Amino acid sequence: MTVRIITLWRYPVKGFSPESLDAVDLLPGETMPFDRAYAIENGPSGFDPDAPVHMPKIKFFCLMKNEGLAALRTRFDPATSLFTIAEKDGTVLAEGRLDTAEGRAAIEAFVADRFAGEARGTPKVLRAPGHSFSDVAKKVLHLVNLETLRAMEADLGVRLDPLRFRPNIVVDGLPAHAELDWPRDMPLKLGGVDFEVVKRTERCAATTVNPDTAERDLQLPRHLMKTLGHTDLGVYLRVVNPGRLAVDG
């Protein structure tokens, strides 16, 4: 059985659109560089950048509650920290360097205006060096199996974009749902990198949002519970050794 890496993704600002990567260098116990490096606070969260701790996604703008984020296309330049928010057609709506007060203020003002009806307070860009605003406390990468999605597509009669599930790694070549049988702490090798399995990914309302239309069109957690008796799809992995992942072919 040959497992192929189909796509690699990172999400520089939590809840906003992903960036596709051809390859990425990984370090033990770390996320992809700049994955969920930033988040935008939705109301006072209590997050302390000098003593960062994991917080639930509801503290931030996120797809689970703010499906309109899926209508935006964003770009992040690691070299300059420039974050650009655009419409699907490329029309730039806002941009700013996230390493400057002025740049953060520009992004915060846009979010405050665009999501005025959903804001619980003044939006604030958050960052703490070395911290990842992941949905789980451990620093992980999220893997999704294409064959699992194909099985769901056959059940539902619709195409499922893997980006509904916010993966870092999309693979092909595994049987459907095989990843859910991987025991915790199981060693796994992809490309030149060793991983260990951390846990299954329990799906939330974020997966109901179509990443193309920004509409809630499928109740996927409900479907998973009805057909499989749980709401898990995908697994979280921890990097064990330094190495490079690259898209196959």
Residues 144-185: tens digit of each pLDDT: 999 999 999 999 999 999 999 999 999 999 999 999 999 999
Verify that 24 and 145 share a domain, yes or no.
yes
How far is Cα 114 from Cα 213, in angstroms, rounded to an integer? 17
The per-residue pLDDT for 230 is 96
Residue by residue, DSSP assigns 177-222 as TGGGGSPTT-EEEETTEEEEEEEEEE--GGGGB-TTT--B---HHH
Give me the half-sphere count of Cα atoms (radius 13 Å) on the Cβ side of residue 188: 21
Does 229 score more than 70 pLDDT? Answer: yes
Q: How confident is the model at residue 249 (pLDDT cuts 50, 70, 90)?
A: low
Last residue of a domain, one of 127, 146, 172: 127
Q: Is residue 156 domain-shared with residue 122, that is, in the same domain?
A: no
Q: Is 229 exposed, middle or buried (0-12, 13-18, 19+ CB in 10 A)?
A: exposed
**What is the chain's percent helix, strand, coil content, to nearest 5?**
20, 30, 45
Backbone angles phi, psi at 223, to 5 degrees: -65, -45
C-alpha Rg value of the chain to the nearest Å: 18
Same structural domain, 23 and 144: yes
| CATH number of the domain enclosing 141 | 2.40.33.20
In total, how many domains does the chain have?
2
Whether 52 and 107 map to the same domain: the answer is: yes
Choosing from 127, 154, 176, the residue where a domain stops is: 127
Residue ending a domain, among 83, 110, 127, is 127
pLDDT tens across 104-150, in order? 999 999 999 999 999 999 999 999 999 999 999 999 999 999 999 99
Residues 51-93 pLDDT 10s: 999 999 999 999 999 999 999 999 999 999 999 999 999 999 9
Nearest alpha carbon to residue 148 among 233, 73, 86: 233
Give dist(CA 150, CA 158) in Å, integer: 10
- Rounded to whole angstroms, the Cα distance separating 60 from 15 reads 8
- Is there a single domain that holds both residue 25 and residue 147? yes
pLDDT exceeds 70 at position 1: no
Say whether pLDDT at 2 is over 90.
no
Task: Print the domain residue range for 61.
Answer: 38-127
Residues 110 and 166 occupy one common structural domain: no
